[in-house]
Amino acid sequence: MKFAAPVSVQWFADFLHAKLVGNKNGQVLGINEIHKVEKGDLVFVDHPKYYDTCIQSEATFIIINQQVDFPPEKALLIVDQPFEAYLAIVRHFRPFEPATKLISESAIIGDGTYVYPTATIGHHVKIGKNCVIHHNCVIMDYSVIGDHVIIQAGTVIGSDAFYYNTKKDRKVWYKKMESCGRAVIEDYVEIGATCTIDRGVTNDTVIGEGTKIDNMVHVGHDTVVGKNCLIAAQVGIAGAAIIGNGVTLWGQVGVSKTLSIGDNAVVLAKSGVPSSLKGGHTYFGIPSVDALDKKRELVWIKRIPELWKKVMESK
């Protein structure tokens, strides 16, 4: 999440009652997760396992629970509970705003766009020109919809991420990491009925220009789907995946988190993708491998009874 204007790091130290060490004159541009941070961003870390990764990242400002060595141009904000500090920041800059109308007064809707009477458009949503938003769609706060987009009935854009901070030493093991990112749907995208596209935790979930999505598809938080992709029914894509341009995912494909699928790859129906795939190939199976290799494997598996019979007869 980028702030509307830079905020002094001293303001954050006062707001969080944090001990500020290092660059006390810095300006914070936004808050982000470790795998998405940019220069000027604020990030939090609460486990020694990730201290070094966080300190060496692009983040300029780090909320942390103990002092460690760090580059002189950066700053530490030391608090007892960095995760609680993160939540306080999100709630301050993205406070809960209850809906009082189907279409929020703060929503911006472009010329030629038709919104069906039962659709819900949240606060600070931007929808471009010549779109159609069908019955019972929900476009959550801060979502961005481009031009010439079609969203079929019952789809939810910008729902909260399925993302939790886990600690076994507290009563509630799984504590919600509140989302302050956006869902961004680019121009000429079509999204089928009853799909769910989560907003980013702190950054954007993006559906690229010209991509077509069938019914009952789920796209997890912070995932980036490239341009001109085809995604068939019941595909599930976990958080922070990177799907290249021109990728085809056929029905019921499952894609794991934080991996990438290269441009123009094709994943055949009912396949599982647990790790990154190179572009320009067709894949099949669980786990997904080159489709030709998998077909050869299936042929040999089918022949096992015949081969076993020959082995037994030869004894």
Computed over its alpha carbons, how large is the radius of gyration of the chain?
A: 23
> Residues 16, 109: contact at Cβ < 8 Å?
no
> Residues 40, 29: contact at Cβ < 8 Å?
yes
What span, in angstroms and rounded, lies between the C-alpha atoms of 129 and 187? 9
What span, in angstroms and rounded, lies between the C-alpha atoms of 80 and 25? 23
SS3 category, 225: strand
Dihedral, CA atoms, 273, 275, 276, 280, nearest 10 degrees?
-40
134 is annotated as an active-site residue? no
SS3 category, 138: strand
∠ CA 42-48-49 to the nearest 5 degrees?
A: 95
Lookup: tokens for 194: 């009853």
Catalytic residue among 17, 135, 221, 281: 221
Residues carrying an active site annotation? 221
